[in-house]
Amino acid sequence: MDKGKVTRGRGLVNKGKVIRGRGVAGKGKVERFFAIGDIHGNLSHLEQLIEKIKPALNCEKDTLVFLGDYIDRGPASKGVVDYIIRLRKDLPHVVCLKGNHEEMLLDWVTNGENYDLYLYNGGAATIKTYSQEGEFKLPQEHLDFFTSLLLYYETEKYIFVHAGIRGGIPLEEQDPHDLIWIRDEFILSPHDYGKTVVFGHTPLQRVFVAPNKIGIDTGAVYGGTLTCLELPAQRFYSV
């Protein structure tokens, strides 16, 4: 594929736009949160996980929080995005965060930058699912989805973020790069963030639970499981 040939829907993307989130999604009081880790194009895992949590999920009162990395490496990135867009239309409380893989895709699609970096990190699988007759075609609805993603979602007791946060810096002043890329500096830090931080990004063999943070990327794309965390019960579901 010619890396310079990109077709997408009409509309402009604000390259400098940083979207942050605080509060609750939709209307009404939210009782519980169901956070889902890195999907990476594994549509079958996502469908099975949603079916597994459905009996516990009160669609009117509970919030689904996706931690980002919907795309790349796995076989069905476009299908995953289609599925989550439908969920956002059908359910009143759905929060979608940005992962580093969505950032890399946008860097290429909107800015024409870091194509090689994107391919190195599994972008070819996503390009394939969006390609028609050798041409990459990103629907406007999907572009709108990618550009709408939040960098974090903060509630009274929790901070949901893709990768983590840097200690000692107010949440609203965090470097966006850290929020989607940071690893050990966050995971190994004893810093008290004042709330429990729920994160993905760093694939682990099992969920990571510490007094101040919970990691739920359990490596679905690497042969592991896709995990959902229910809060405040701190109950885990995986497929």
What's the pLDDT score for residue 28? 53
**Nearest 5 degrees, angle CA 165-CA 84-CA 171?**
15
What's the pLDDT score for residue 29? 65
Q: Where are the alpha helices (DSSP H) in the chain?
A: 43-53, 77-90, 100-111, 115-120, 123-129, 140-148, 176-181, 184-187
What's the pLDDT score for residue 13? 32
197-214 pLDDT, tens digit per residue, is 999 999 999 999 999 999
Q: In the chain, which residues have pLDDT < 70?
A: 1-29
10 Å Cβ neighbour count for 60?
A: 14
Task: Give the C-alpha separation, 190 to 205, whole Å.
Answer: 22
What's the pLDDT score for residue 131? 97
165-199 pLDDT, tens digit per residue, is 999 999 999 999 999 999 999 999 999 999 999 99
The domain covering 33-191+199-206+222-238 belongs, at the CATH homologous superfamily level, to Metallo-dependent phosphatases (3.60.21.10)
- Domains of the chain by residue range: 33-191+199-206+222-238
What's the pLDDT score for residue 224? 98
What's the pLDDT score for residue 236? 98
Place of tokens 């099975």: 48
What's the pLDDT score for residue 22? 53
With a threshold of 0.85, does the pTM exceed it? yes
